[in-house]
């Protein structure tokens, strides 16, 4: 499966209501060690309620200047969240989440405040 096919898909909850757009896919390098780097396991998806596109990497990032620009881009991405892979029920033209899915903070670990 090719990732750009997954990105931009609509994300629906168990009732079929749109909860946002899939804007990114999060991997964790904790799998079986390969030749040089451990394998990258799909951890979850980043869902954005606002815009369908990520923009310039401001979201999920500690970059916060120039201040006005950062605020504007944050506002465009207000309320994005992470959903774990095991909370995904099915993928077709959209991504269907399980009834029990949990919304997690999309922040990258080193940037926690």
Partner 1 sequence: MKKLLGLALGILTAIGGFLDIGDLVTNGVVGSRFGLTLGWVVLVGVVGICLFAQMSGRVAAVSGRATFEIIRERLGARASMANLGASFIVNLMTLTAEIGGIALSLQLASSISPMLWMPVAAVAVWIVVWRVKFSIMENVTGLLGLTLIVFAVAVFLLHPNWLDLGSQLLGQAPKQSSESPATYWYYAIALFGAAMTPYEVFFFSSGAVEEKWTVKDLAQSRMNVLVGFPLGGILSIAIAACATIVLLPKNIAVTSLSEIALPIAQAGGKIALIIVLLGFVAATFGAALETTLSSGYTLAQYFGWSWGKFRRPARAARFHLTMIIALIIGLAVLATGVDPIAVTEFSVVFSAIALPLTYLPILIVANDPQYMGKFVNGKATNFFGMIYLVIILVASLAAIPLMIVTGAGA
Partner 2 sequence: MSDTDYPEETYAGRVLDADLHLFDRQVLDVDGEPAFAVDDIEISDVPIGLPLDPAAPAPVIESLLSGPVLATRTFGGRPPSSRLERIPWRHVSDIGTALTLGIHSDELDATWTERWVRDRIIGRIPGGRHDPE
**Residue 63 binds to partner 1 (criterion: CB under 8 A):** yes
The answer to whether the beta carbons of residues 111 and 62 sit under 8 Å apart is yes
Report in angstroms how near the CB of residue 5 gets to partner 2 at its nearest: 8
Rule CB under 8 A: is residue 2 a binding residue for partner 1? no
Contact status: 65 vs partner 2 (CB under 8 A): no
Nearest-angstrom CA–CA distance, 4 and 37: 23
Query: By CB neighbour count within 10 A (0-12 exposed, 13-18 middle, 19+ buried), where does 83 fall?
Result: buried
Site residues for partner 2, window 69-88 (CB under 8 A)?
74, 77-82, 84-86, 88
Kindly state whether residue 109 participates in binding partner 1, applying the rule CB under 8 A: no
């Amino acid at each position: 499966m090719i990732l750009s096919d997954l990105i931009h898909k609509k994300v629906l909850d168990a009732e079929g209501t749109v909860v946002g757009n899939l804007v990114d896919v999060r991997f964790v390098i904790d799998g079986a060690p390969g030749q040089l780097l451990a394998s990258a396991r799909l951890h979850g998806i980043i869902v954005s309620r606002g815009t369908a596109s990520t923009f310039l990497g401001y979201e999920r990032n500690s970059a916060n200047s120039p201040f006005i620009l950062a605020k504007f881009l944050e506002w465009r991405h207000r309320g994005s969240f992470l959903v774990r892979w095991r909370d995904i029920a099915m993928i077709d033209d959209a991504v269907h989440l399980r009834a029990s899915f949990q919304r997690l903070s999309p922040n990258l670990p080193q940037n926690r405040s």
